[in-house]
A and B are shown apart, each in its own frame.
Chain A
């Protein structure tokens, strides 16, 4: 709205201060980038294995953020709503898998049903079932959420929907904190599979439990591999879905112009529900993987990862799917490097400084196109 009005008045007057601001911002950014590159490079030379280890933990974090960020960006792309409750769907995903494993031992069903099954297959199928269950519950939750809280506000001002999203988020967090739901305690998470770790030094070797790997080696675990593979897979599936399938075309059409899409015979409500469902399924997957990786869950688990995934989505360009992915990886690295070379408590400050910087310097993000104003 604003640019349309200003462009009608004398454009030269308005543009000059804007440009100067942009120059200050870009200069500042340049200094910042040089500083970061210098610190990172000097540490890389000083202690290469520690650097490698930090980058790996940043990758793990980044790929988890990517799974959450996709939901933010897809929903925003379609209904222009920042669905803050998305982070709590992620939390619910973690809890569903916790109950499935710790209470109902669901990860052991293949052993119970097919006694002769090989242990590896049993673990894969069992864990897969747990993840699938979490994804289904999250999908159901998100669709319900959309139907109950967002659909009635479809034609209301955007700010109303945004505040509703915050309300839904608080509801899920504090309803979850009730003692008969998830309780507000930190709950030790029981994994559906055992962790296996390897270290890299003159090749890849298995870490023997209770025995320290040699000095100057980089370790990684099967959880890391699973997170990376799952996240890349999700990205590919999503790209295919959006670009090649009918529902993907419908999604893009709805995103472009809801009214016109409806006139073309697209069931817009269904498409929006579907978008929420997909985002939630990935958040559920992310929730399980996050809980497996960091092994402690509580009712406000989603808060910080959710906010950081949101920053990642903004950084990548909200509405853009590859943008969310790249943004998340950058966020993961930024956090890990801050923890490694500045201090751990600074990491949230750095994460949110990135948000402020992006909004100041390039509000549309890395992959974002300048928003075309519609009526």
Chain B
């Protein structure tokens, strides 16, 4: 009897699950007829679900606006959202699915570089245009031989440009002559930013007075900070995530270290301890507090459409802004091409100039935007727009 119950329960569960899976479309209608499909690959589950949600929201907002204006090429834009989990395998599966089954010609995403790279391999074999909003690794747009991938673009600056901006801001605005670098040697992203900073800073005549490494699990930075105090630099470079930044800046304040900290876009988090990091600054893709009309318009519309848990208007983060930009660039290019033709669309993106929330964008030879980088200063208990620096 018990076995029977168990078996019937299993059958029931199986039925429920199959019922939940959406039925596969019977025939690929393609992008013909009255609709044009755009796929959005976002990590809605996996390690960084908030990145995925922001990306989806930013992208869907752009599509909704275009549809309100009558779509593109007289067709309604239909978004297809896939969960790519910030992981290569699911991202590849999702890409194959949207291209082969849904006959999609345009893809927005992925968010993470490690997932965007395998996606870019596929789209360049199948001639599908891909724009990733936020993958900052140069390998997303370059193949192993250093050649540009013709069908892949990114809407964000890369780590090289970011390191350059950090250095420019340090030696320009902050008039720093000496810098102390703190980095997590095991994190490629942190290491890359530190290297690009060092290269540019020394080229501009600055001196690196010290360089100390730590690991991501460290909590006690007193020894490193003792060395910082001893070296007495003009700026301290700390391009790491907010949890490390909170620890280091707090302990530095208690040691009486007054040199400002410079970070990377990874400082951008609601959990950043603004009191401890006060006086510090970091480059970011955009700031919702900037006065530019494009930014204000985007922040208002986003807040009207999306609410947080408390029901208040949601403030778009950089991921939402870049997804919105990427989607707008894609649709604008399709409109300018005048036809649903990926080969034409990619040429228009490569040569075009786009007014976007994150600044006025043109693409360089490696399909990476040339645009001003926003510097955010931490003061008065929050992260605020400071200035824009051209890399």
Indicate if the CB atoms of A188 and B256 lie closer than 8 Å: no
When each residue 208-244 of chain A gets 1 if its CB lies under 8 Å from chain B and 0 otherwise, what string results?
A: 0111110100010100000000000000000000000
Is B332 engaged at the interface, CB distance under 8 Å to the other chain?
Answer: no
User: Which residues does chain A contribute within 8 Å of B199, judged by CB atoms?
Assistant: none
* Nearest CB on A from B324, distance (A): 26
**In the complex the two chains form, what is the Cα distance from A217 to B251 in whole Å?**
17
Is B247 engaged at the interface, CB distance under 8 Å to the other chain?
Answer: yes
- Contact partner, A186, options B186, B243, B258, Cβ 8 Å: B243
Is B219 engaged at the interface, CB distance under 8 Å to the other chain?
Answer: yes
- Contact partner, B224, options A209, A304, A344, Cβ 8 Å: A344
When each residue 325-360 of chain A gets 1 if its CB lies under 8 Å from chain B and 0 otherwise, what string results?
A: 000000000001001100111001000000000000
**In the complex the two chains form, what is the Cα distance from A301 to B243 in whole Å?**
13
Size of the A side of the interface (Cβ < 8 Å), in residues, is: 40
* Nearest CB on B from A197, distance (A): 5
* Nearest CB on B from A267, distance (A): 40
* Nearest CB on B from A298, distance (A): 8
Is B255 engaged at the interface, CB distance under 8 Å to the other chain?
Answer: yes
Using C-beta atoms within 8 Å of the partner chain, give the interface range for chain B.
Answer: 20 to 34
Indicate if the CB atoms of A296 and B220 lie closer than 8 Å: no
**In the complex the two chains form, what is the Cα distance from A218 to B160 in whole Å?**
38
- Given A294-B247, A345-B213, verify A212-B223 contact (CB < 8 Å): no
Indicate if the CB atoms of A57 and B271 lie closer than 8 Å: no
User: Which residues does chain B contribute within 8 Å of A336, judged by CB atoms?
Assistant: 222-223
**In the complex the two chains form, what is the Cα distance from A50 to B225 in whole Å?**
10
Indicate if the CB atoms of A207 and B256 lie closer than 8 Å: yes
**In the complex the two chains form, what is the Cα distance from A207 to B254 in whole Å?**
9
Indicate if the CB atoms of B257 and A345 lie closer than 8 Å: no
Indicate if the CB atoms of B258 and A212 lie closer than 8 Å: yes
- Given A344-B215, A345-B185, A345-B215, verify A57-B226 contact (CB < 8 Å): yes
Interface residues of B (CB under 8 A from A): 185-186, 212-215, 217-220, 222-224, 226-227, 229-230, 232, 242-243, 246-247, 250-251, 253-258, 271, 273, 276
- In order of increasing CB-CB distance, the 10 nearest A-B pairs are A186-B243, A57-B222, A339-B223, A53-B226, A294-B219, A344-B214, A213-B256, A207-B256, A212-B258, A188-B273
Interface residues of A (CB under 8 A from B): 47, 49-50, 53-54, 56-57, 60-61, 185-188, 195, 197, 199, 207, 209-213, 215, 219, 221, 290, 293-296, 298, 301, 304, 336, 339-340, 343-345, 348
